[in-house]
Amino acid sequence: MKGIRQLVLLGGLALVAACAIGGSPVSPATPDPRFHWFAYEGNDSVFKERATGPDDYVNPVLAGFYPDPSIVRVGDDYYLVNSTFAYFPGVPIFHSGDLVHWTQIGNVLDRPSQLNLAGADISRGIYAPTIRYHAGTFYMITTLVDKGGSFFVTATNPAGPWSEPNWLPSVDGIDPSFYFDDDGKAYVVNHGETIDAPQWDGHRAIWLQEFDVASQQMVGPRKLIVNGGVDLSTKPIWIEGPHIFKKDGHYFLICAEGGTGDQHSEVVFRSDFVWGPYVAGPVNPSLTQRHLDPTRAFPVTSTGHADFVQTQHGEWWAVFLGTRPYDGDMYNTGRETFLLPVRWENGWPVITSGDERVSYVHKRPTLPASPATSGPYGGNVRYRDDFNAGRLSSQWLFIRTPTEKWYEVGGASKSLMLRARSVDFAPGGQPSFLGRRQQNTNASVSTEMSYAPAKEGDKAGLVAFQNDEFYYFLAVARVDGRTVVEVEKHAGPPAPGDLGVAASAVLTTGENAPVFLRISARGARYDFYYGTQAGQWRLLLGDADGTILSTKVAGGFVGSLFGLYAYTPGS
């Protein structure tokens, strides 16, 4: 696999994440803000209390909004992808040699021609990608919800470029996954509707159909292989996220069951034939935390949606999603990627059973340790982006697909400039916003901005964003002929005329003089600071309600982002 690793390196060096958008460079003229740096610091106590030894790793291995992980091994190399919903670029792809240290090598869907998210709700778009490898080609299959259905893309280098979408109109529902059998045949397994009308809310099925590798098309009839879930008498809900693999002559089908909330789980079925019949295992679910004491210290909840991988040394491991609530079912960091070993009991896979908890610290896989990651993904994350690379790093996200280039990065000023546009956070829009994931329950993010709002309503600054209607905006703005710093709170559809201003202060600085902005998250509480000199912070709003940024309150499937934003009301 040396050739693949060389391709990955070359692809990573050539990566221009989310920058494949046409258009000439934007002008740095006022009222467009320049951000000189962006810094993040995590401070979760669990990572201080749970000490790690030299042979240990820390969960989650991908902290923050990295849900629905799928993994594949190619030789000694491991590749992993996640869902991105209505964020662009879509489907981050990571590489690791030890399953613990991950480096993002690109984004699978990094061209607007691959991913049209125009008008999509934040929690629609790309659902549950699966990555597989067959005969020298990588395959990523997923569903673009509300915008075309299921499709796959291919690449010979996992760092890209990936192909344009190949649409699969006969694959309805969501969560498609490829299975390449050892007899040369291939299949797509996916979540879909039942044959007849659902018998209860959330009653769904798993379907299988053959895929012809030569023609790259679905062939033959579709077959329902699981109806409902493990035990129909319990009226199981939302059987989804299916993957098929083979071990010891048996076909195993693993699926998520119970919905993506705190009743989530992973279940397993087995068959002697790829078409079934599939029989539920004696230990089901093979992974869940739903029955544990919700008041336990540092809980990990909502576990499920797993994918399995066997190492080159014969060990089996699972990546899966989970959440880290700070109170009840409240979490702002979204669904994250965890790693645990899979043990085999009487021919069946088990990740947790009884009262076993998903651990924050665990013994590493028996694999050579990878170099330190090139990106911040686990534990108490810390990083600083000085915008001097001449391109955006691959961790930055746009809201929906940009159709014009409204930002400039690097250049003589070595900063990030956002062109203020008259597009706000109204549902369906594509504002001048760039965000990165909140990766810790307790964290702070800060920036230095040069900006002189020129006319009434101009504003730019730092945002804690959950979706189009639930966010905080710490802004420098022009209000009633004065330059002010203010905090806007948005927690649902706005009332007519309500600007959502929760705190405000007049800002007295010279034109385009630096302003420092900071947001601190403390679980359910957020604090907002500003300053006119480095390190000298003034509290503008403290103890703000951070639960409005939780999935529980805001709804949907995404986690919160911290980001940079510019707006002008236009002429």
Give φ, ψ of 47 to 5 degrees. Answer: -80, -10
DSSP 163: P
Residues ≥6 apart with Cβ < 8 Å to 400: 86, 87, 88, 117, 118, 119, 120, 428, 429, 430
Catalytic residue among 32, 77, 175, 240: 240
Residue 531 token pair: 């300053």
Which structure tokens are listed for 569?
């009301």
For residues 168 and 151, is the Cβ–Cβ distance under 8 A? yes
Cβ atoms of residues 74 and 4 within 8 Å: yes
Helix (H, G, I), strand (E, B) or coil at 548: helix
* 240 in catalytic set: yes
Plot region of 260 (φ>0 → left; ψ -120 to 50 → alpha; else → beta): alpha
Mapping DSSP onto H, E and C, the string for 307-355 reads: EEEECCCCCEEEEEEEECCCECCECCCCCEEEEEEEEEECCEEECCCCC
Is 181 one of the annotated active-site residues of the chain? Answer: no
Nearest to 365 by CA among 11, 3, 78, 80: 78
Please state the three-class secondary structure of 295-320 as a single string.
CCCCCCEEEEEEEEEECCCCCEEEEE
- Please choose, from the candidates 333, 284, 299, the residue with its C-alpha nearest in 3D space to the C-alpha of residue 442: 333
CA distances from 534 to 443, 456, 503, 538 (A): 19, 28, 22, 11
**Among candidates 150, 156, 116, 115, which has minimal Cα distance to 130?**
150
E strand map for 352-450: 361-363, 382-385, 398-399, 407-410, 415-418, 432-437, 442-450
Which residues have CB under 8 Å from 547's CB, separation 6+?
Answer: 330, 524, 553
The set of residues, in sequence order, having a beta carbon less than 8 Å from that of 143 and lying 6+ positions away, is 126, 127, 128, 149, 150, 151, 173, 174, 175, 176
Catalytic, out of 68, 257, 385, 486: 68
Q: What's the burial of 256, exposed, middle or buried (CB within 10 Å: 0-12/13-18/19+)?
A: buried
**Token pair of 152, please?**
């796959």
Cβ 83 vs Cβ 70: under 8 Å: no
CA distance 263 to 290: 5
Q: How far is CA 8 from the centre of its chain?
A: 21
Active-site positions? 68, 240
